[in-house]
Structure 1
Amino acid sequence: MRASFLFTSESVSEGHPDKVADQISDAVVDLFLSKDPYARIACETLTTTQLVVLAGEIRCKGVYENGAWAPGAQEEIEAAVRATVKRIGYEQDGFHWETFRFENNLHGQSAHIAQGVDESGNKDEGAGDQGIMFGYATDETPDLLPATLYYSHRILEKLASDRHNKVVPFLEPDAKSQVTLQYENEVPVRATALVVSTQHAPGYFDDGGEGSDAAKYQELRDYVVGVFHEVLPKGFITDETKIYVNPTGRFEIGGPDGDAGLTGRKIIVDTYGGASPHGGGAFSGKDPTKVDRSAAYVARYMAKNVVAAGLARRCTIQLSYAIGIAEPLSLYVDLHGTGTVSEAKIEEVLPKLVRLTPKGIREHLQLNAPIYQKTAAYGHFGRKPEGDSFTWEKTDLVDALKAAVA
């Protein structure tokens, strides 16, 4: 790895159309898992102007069994979808939680997939799909997340908190952030560029067009710059930092009315901001038998514990699976030249500490619970473990890892 360089990551807010779709999909996952901890869900969402469409494959006791919906189940799904959009804050002519058209095209899970995934007789539960998954951790931040992504998320979380609490009058739900940091000796030391584009109330722009108001735009800009200073470490923002706030000018039309949203289109925002490889599979809308989700969570869990144990400053872990097969096909560890022990030793130790079958992962991380909607905005990683939520962010393997490699 180069010692000195620039690196950039972005984030998007809970009101971004793709994130609206992710949160709706995970609201459906949580609803089903609240009814049946072993439900099967693969829920995709499309959002656009005054329309939300669900599609995918499901199986859930008391909701959808033997090819039929339980009484009231479809109405309950629609209520969960509308509640999600209401919580985000969309009450606009082009996208309103109460009046958008809703289509539910969910249907039964393929029996051919079910026979490979389900546990039966002497057969362990198989992986819900083939694929590769990556986990990553770095000591750049206290939560062991890449700094560029960490600060991108925190900027938008602050905007969202202030919007919900009506701290300022001009913020609307859709927003994006981007952070570029200068690294010296592999350590982030300053911000060279900071970008926020936020949907705003009418008039808070300055492009010289009709309705333009320089004073209102300056109020918005000063607020965002204040958030930058609040979120980034002291000294990171200098006179040389390039700051862009709504660089296109007016941003009044946003969210699904401004751009269609789809589940699973923000996988780099969801994970490591480009600092690590990505296997390609999205997380939201999937129950934990889908290793795209659960194996990515356990890979992060293992990588974070390796770094937290002081065995490396950076760690990447890859897992691979085949549909219907319980055990992973491979486990690969890369410590990027920062390790205090060999990669081979960690590859030997980790499967002894965590059973890496789909069932083993689910049980170890307690994934059969309605915990997923809160993961669908501001990153699946770098979050604080709370009760059953974000268990993959715990560092409870540290002592066992240290003992095993001693």
Structure 2
Amino acid sequence: MRSNYLFTSESVSEGHPDKVSDQISDAIVDLFLSKDPEARVACETLTTTQKVVLAGEIRGKGIMDEAGNWAPGIEQEIEDTVRNTVREIGYEQDGFHWQTLDFSNNLHPQSAHIAQGVDASGNKDEGAGDQGIMFGFACDETPDLMPATLDYSHKILERMAADRHSGAAPFLEPDTKSQVTLRFENGKPVAATAIVVSTQHGKGYDEGDKEAELHAYVKKVIADVLPAELLSDETEYHINPTGSFEIGGPDGDAGLTGRKIIVDTYGGAAPHGGGAFSGKDPTKVDRSAAYITRYLAKNIVAAGLAKRCTIQLAYAIGVSKPLSLYVDTHGTGRIGDDAIEAAIKSIDKLGGLTPRAIRTHLGLNKPIYKKTAAYGHFGRKAQGDFFPWERLDLVEDLKAAVGAKAETADA
């Protein structure tokens, strides 16, 4: 593991076209889970100029029957959910307006062959909704145990969105991107060497006094978000480096669900299994297993067992038991990584990390997902409460499980 280096992460705002798609897909997941906590949802969204298209496979009581017939009123609820999501983001532009956009719903029943593999029946436990590998990560770079470059990138955009919604920055439009480069010495961030912010803006804010106002505003946000000791006269700022950015969002570039998986996770500081989260109910281990691995990694770091931790789980479709569990503390562990793996397996309340055990332990069968779909799924609070996978309620269990081994390592 290197000690001295530059590292960069990016974030994109709620108004980025891919994030618009993610939020719509997760708003549909929430709608269906509110009607049936056991609903099966795989909802993909395409956004482009004045158009939103839904596609995917679903199943659930009070939603759609096996023949593909919608429950009374649900189709209008789906359209209302889509339009309200776009309205809440703030799109009332000629090229993308929540009231006038063209909407197409192409959701259809879930494959019976997938259902038979996933559903519990007889002596068979609920199986994973797909094969795949999932990673979780935590490190001690920030209080939320997230990579600092990503944490600051997210927080810049969250602040700008809050100012846009409140009217404090009326010249901002919804589509924005950020990027933060930090210099690390002895594994710790010591300086911000470059910060990029590209924001959609109102007419005229690309020249003269208005451009200067926009640039001064963005620099003030950066100064408020990043610790003062990281900023200096040597920090390079790139604010709207292309010049004008009036046309943005789905009118400027098509959006698709699941294209911002690195923004959603750890900003490139950790591996990613490849599967996206948004639009999927929690039987899909792409989502639920990624959440439990973050939960485990965060509790391991919070327990003082390591400064950095990466965890991998692997599953086969239709099989409940994970195929493998892998822990890597990158040389920062107080005890061996194999001992941490054994500790995880020994904690009974985790239930063996089956899909159902994960959903039960973290309480995932609830309509909580729309608020995950912008500014990252990890390391932040939602409506005043942590997402359940951000809890630190496993710290004492882990300490007890490693017990004498950790004390021996310290000695």
TM-score range, shorter chain: over 0.9
Equivalent in the alignment of 2:374: 377
1:193 aligns with 2:194: yes
Contact 1:385 1:391 survives alignment (8 Å): no
Contact 1:3 1:184 survives alignment (8 Å): yes
Alpha carbons of structure 1 residues 386 and 333: separation in structure 2 relative to 1, 3 Å: farther
Structure 1 alignment gaps of length 5 or more: 207-213
Deviates further, 132-141 or 376-385: 376-385
Alpha carbons of structure 1 residues 187 and 248: separation in structure 2 relative to 1, 3 Å: same
1:21 aligns with 2:21: yes
- State the 1:352 CA deviation: 2.7
1:105 aligns with 2:102: no
Equivalent in the alignment of 2:81: 80
Q: Distance in 1 between matches of 2:197 and 2:383?
A: 29
Q: Distance in 1 between matches of 2:168 and 2:381?
A: 25
Measured against aligned partners, the alpha-carbon deviations of 1:280-332 in whole angstroms (never above 9, x if no partner) come to 00000000000000000000000000000000000000000000000000000
SS at match of 1:149: helix
SS at match of 1:306: helix
Equivalent in the alignment of 1:247: 241
Amino acid at match of 2:310: T
Equivalent in the alignment of 1:263: 257
Give the TM-score of the pair, scaled to structure 1: 0.97
Amino acid at match of 1:351: K
Q: Distance in 1 between matches of 2:381 and 2:32?
A: 24
Equivalent in the alignment of 1:283: 277
Give the TM-score of the pair, scaled to structure 2: 0.96
Alpha carbons of structure 1 residues 149 and 330: separation in structure 2 relative to 1, 3 Å: same
SS at match of 1:155: helix
Measured against aligned partners, the alpha-carbon deviations of 1:5-54 in whole angstroms (never above 9, x if no partner) come to 00000000000000000000000000000000000000000000000000
Q: Distance in 1 between matches of 2:235 and 2:143?
A: 24
Measured against aligned partners, the alpha-carbon deviations of 1:177-231 in whole angstroms (never above 9, x if no partner) come to 000000000000110000100000000003xxxxxxx110000000000001000
Equivalent in the alignment of 2:31: 31
Equivalent in the alignment of 2:391: 394
- State the 1:351 CA deviation: 2.4
Amino acid at match of 1:116: G
Contact 1:42 1:287 survives alignment (8 Å): yes
Number of aligned positions between the proteins = 399
Deviates further, 302-311 or 383-392: 383-392
Contact 1:43 1:54 survives alignment (8 Å): yes
SS at match of 1:74: helix
Q: Distance in 2 between matches of 1:43 and 1:388?
A: 26
1:55 aligns with 2:55: yes
User: Would you identify which runs of 4 or more consecutive aligned residues in structure 1 move more than 4 Å?
Assistant: 385-389
Q: Distance in 1 between matches of 2:88 and 2:384?
A: 22
Equivalent in the alignment of 2:300: 306
Equivalent in the alignment of 1:344: 338
Amino acid at match of 2:94: D
1:274 aligns with 2:268: yes
Quote the sequence identity (%). Answer: 72
- State the 1:385 CA deviation: 6.4
1:368 aligns with 2:365: yes
Alpha carbons of structure 1 residues 389 and 54: separation in structure 2 relative to 1, 3 Å: farther
Alpha carbons of structure 1 residues 389 and 310: separation in structure 2 relative to 1, 3 Å: closer
1:6 aligns with 2:6: yes
SS at match of 2:292: helix
Amino acid at match of 2:226: L
Contact 1:366 1:388 survives alignment (8 Å): no
Contact 2:346 2:401 survives alignment (8 Å): no
Alignment of 1:84-95 (within 5 A): 84-95=85-96
SS at match of 2:24: helix
Q: Distance in 2 between matches of 1:362 and 1:169?
A: 41
- State the 1:388 CA deviation: 7.7
Equivalent in the alignment of 1:146: 147
Contact 2:265 2:377 survives alignment (8 Å): yes
Q: Distance in 2 between matches of 1:381 and 1:273?
A: 11
Equivalent in the alignment of 2:409: none
Q: Distance in 1 between matches of 2:237 and 2:10?
A: 14
Alpha carbons of structure 1 residues 323 and 388: separation in structure 2 relative to 1, 3 Å: farther
Q: Distance in 2 between matches of 1:122 and 1:203?
A: 66
For the aligned residue pairs, the C-alpha RMSD in angstroms reads 0.9
